[in-house]
């Protein structure tokens, strides 16, 4: 067979539901024609969601950045402040956090993503206290937050095991982990961009502990900081191996590195084509993960739309607040109607989903679209400028 015929036979096998190897995934990622890759990935998506394959989902959530103070100093991060940098560092108090939760509920949000730096004083007790307070005031909000890196950090601060830390924050109110901190799991690129973070193996080990305790999560990948194609595929292979044992990853979410305001010099961002190829290969290779999420926030709305034709079934969230990747240059903003329209123009029926991916509201008739135009993604002036919390929710419209 010719090389192209070999690639097509791998695509056909994957499209028919067969498992592909790491080497085959790398060959597809490097050499398969883009459209053939998308076609095979879309076939897998349609088969997995037979009956609802016309639907693409989104969620309304709020990122609550509780502090930017961080001891881990990742080189790609434009958000953090070193503990001694008292001018730039800030933390939100509980009242401010609860006010942000109240606004989320008022705007129809169902999920909060508690996300912040590795503060040298914040151990397990801090998260227990905050999650318990949020759950008591807003039991309807799902706390889909943190990740293995935060668990490693808080357990060290409190002098307990990762298992105990997870049990305690879960008991206090954490529903699921957001998969933060995966970055790149293989050792070489991880050390190059986040030398003080736990190893990729440890990140997966903590996720495995969480899954076995009944705390599910998503998984992520940061693309475009100088990693090789082989390292990208190694990253998803490490996730697939863990998922074979636990089944606890609900979704895989690749997103692209944003190059502004950080310490990585001379890195190029992943291109849209690299991103779409990764979405498609992830759909074909990660046969044990249900959801592949397209990201409009870092790659733009059109690429987000295209991702729905390359294997993605979900377009992520309308974030009522986002500050971390925005600090590094992600400039895309959107509102609910725009996301609904993006999904419709991509040929799908939009549906608002829950954290666990159940459809909450299927927008099958444009005449019944939600009229509330306050559901808009925005950046907090506090997180960008530093200082004390801004008293008002500032909505910044798309574009």
Smallest separation, CB 81 to ligand SF4 (Å): 9
Q: Which of 73, 132, 192, 389 binds ligand SF4 (CB under 6 A)?
A: 73
Within 8 A by CB and 6+ apart from 18, the residues are none
Q: Which residues of 343-374 are buried (b: 16+ CB within 10 A; e: fewer)?
A: bbebebbbbbbebeeeeeebbeeeeeeeeeee
Smallest separation, CB 322 to ligand SF4 (Å): 14
Residue 40 is encoded by which pair of tokens? 């095979």
- Nearer Cβ to ligand SF4 (75/99): 75
DSSP state of 77: -
Smallest separation, CB 228 to ligand SF4 (Å): 22
User: Which residues are 223's β-sheet partners?
Assistant: 256
Smallest separation, CB 143 to ligand SF4 (Å): 18
117 binds ligand SF4 (CB under 6 A): yes
101 is in an annotated binding site: no
| CA-to-CA dists, residue 354 to 140, 360, 389, angstroms | 11, 6, 29
Residues touching ligand SF4, count (CB under 6 A): 10
Among the listed ranges 19-27, 72-80, 264-272, 348-356, the one in contact with ligand SF4 (CB under 6 A) is 72-80
80 binds ligand SF4 (CB under 6 A): yes
CA atoms within 13 A on the CB side of 126: 20
Q: Tell me, letter by letter, the H, E, C secondary structure of 338-354.
A: HHHHHHHHCCCEEEEEC
Smallest separation, CB 242 to ligand SF4 (Å): 21
- Nearer Cβ to ligand SF4 (149/218): 149
Among the listed ranges 21-29, 73-81, 132-140, 233-241, the one in contact with ligand SF4 (CB under 6 A) is 73-81
Q: Which of 32, 43, 55, 70 binds ligand SF4 (CB under 6 A)?
A: 70
H or E segment and range at residue 358: none
CB 377 within 8 A of CB 322: yes
Which of 33, 34, 109 is CA-nearest to residue 303?
Answer: 34
Residues 226-255 that bind ligand SF4 (CB under 6 A): none
Smallest separation, CB 52 to ligand SF4 (Å): 35
Among the listed ranges 4-12, 77-85, 232-240, 329-337, the one in contact with ligand SF4 (CB under 6 A) is 77-85
77 binds ligand SF4 (CB under 6 A): yes
- Nearer Cβ to ligand SF4 (245/263): 263
Q: Which of 72, 199, 229, 288 binds ligand SF4 (CB under 6 A)?
A: 72
Which of 323, 317, 297, 330 is CA-nearest to residue 116?
Answer: 323
79 binds ligand SF4 (CB under 6 A): yes
| CA-to-CA dists, residue 219 to 53, 100, 109, 179, 289, angstroms | 22, 25, 22, 5, 10
CB 213 within 8 A of CB 197: no
Q: Rounded to an integer, what distance in angstroms lies between the CA atom of residue 303 and that of residue 296?
A: 7
| CA-to-CA dists, residue 77 to 60, 67, 72, 258, angstroms | 25, 14, 10, 9
Smallest separation, CB 82 to ligand SF4 (Å): 9
Q: Which of 45, 118, 301, 309 binds ligand SF4 (CB under 6 A)?
A: 118
Site string for ligand SF4, 142-161 (x = CB under 6 A): -------x------------
By CB under 6 A, name the binding residues for ligand SF4. Answer: 70, 72-74, 77, 79-80, 117-118, 149
Residues comprising the binding site for [4Fe-4S] cluster? 70, 74, 77
């Amino acid at each position: 067979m010719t090389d192209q015929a070999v690639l097509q036979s791998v695509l056909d096998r994957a499209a028919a539901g067969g498992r592909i190897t790491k080497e085959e995934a790398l060959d597809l990622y490097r050499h398969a024609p883009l459209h053939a890759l998308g076609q095979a990935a879309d076939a897998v998506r349609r088969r997995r969601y037979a009956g609802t394959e016309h639907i693409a989902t989104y969620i309304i959530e709020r990122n609550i950045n509780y502090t930017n103070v961080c001891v881990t100093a990742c080189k790609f991060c434009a958000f953090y402040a070193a503990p001694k940098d008292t001018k730039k560092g800030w933390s939100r108090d509980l009242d401010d956090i609860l006010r942000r939760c109240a606004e989320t509920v008022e705007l129809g949000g169902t999920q909060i993503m508690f996300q912040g730096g590795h503060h040298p004083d914040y151990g397990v007790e801090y998260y227990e206290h905050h999650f318990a307070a949020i759950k008591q005031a807003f039991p309807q909000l799902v706390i889909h937050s943190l990740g293995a890196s935060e668990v490693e950090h808080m357990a060290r601060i409190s002098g307990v095991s990762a298992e105990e830390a997870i049990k305690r924050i879960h008991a206090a109110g954490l529903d699921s982990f957001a998969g933060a901190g995966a970055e790149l799991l293989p050792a070489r690129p991880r050390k190059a961009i986040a030398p003080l973070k736990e190893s990729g193996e440890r990140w997966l080990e903590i996720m495995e502990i969480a899954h076995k305790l009944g705390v599910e999560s998503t998984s992520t990948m940061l693309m475009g900081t100088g990693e090789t194609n082989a390292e990208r595929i190694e990253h998803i292979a490490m996730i697939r191996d863990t998922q074979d044992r636990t089944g606890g990853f609900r979704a895989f979410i690749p997103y692209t590195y944003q190059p502004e305001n950080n310490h990585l010099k001379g890195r190029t961002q992943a291109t849209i084509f690299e991103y779409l190829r990764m979405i498609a290969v992830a759909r074909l290779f990660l046969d044990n993960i249900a959801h592949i999420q397209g990201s409009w926030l870092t790659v733009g709305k059109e690429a987000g739309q295209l991702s729905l034709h390359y294997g993605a079934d979900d377009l992520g969230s309308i974030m009522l607040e986002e500050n971390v990747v925005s600090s590094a240059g992600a400039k895309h903003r959107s509102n609910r109607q725009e996301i609904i329209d993006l999904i419709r123009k991509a040929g799908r029926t939009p549906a608002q989903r829950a954290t666990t991916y159940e459809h909450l509201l299927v927008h099958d008739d444009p005449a019944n679209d939600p009229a509330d135009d306050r559901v808009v993604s925005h950046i907090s002036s506090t997180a960008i400028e530093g200082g004390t919390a801004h008293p008002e929710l500032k909505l910044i419209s798309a574009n």
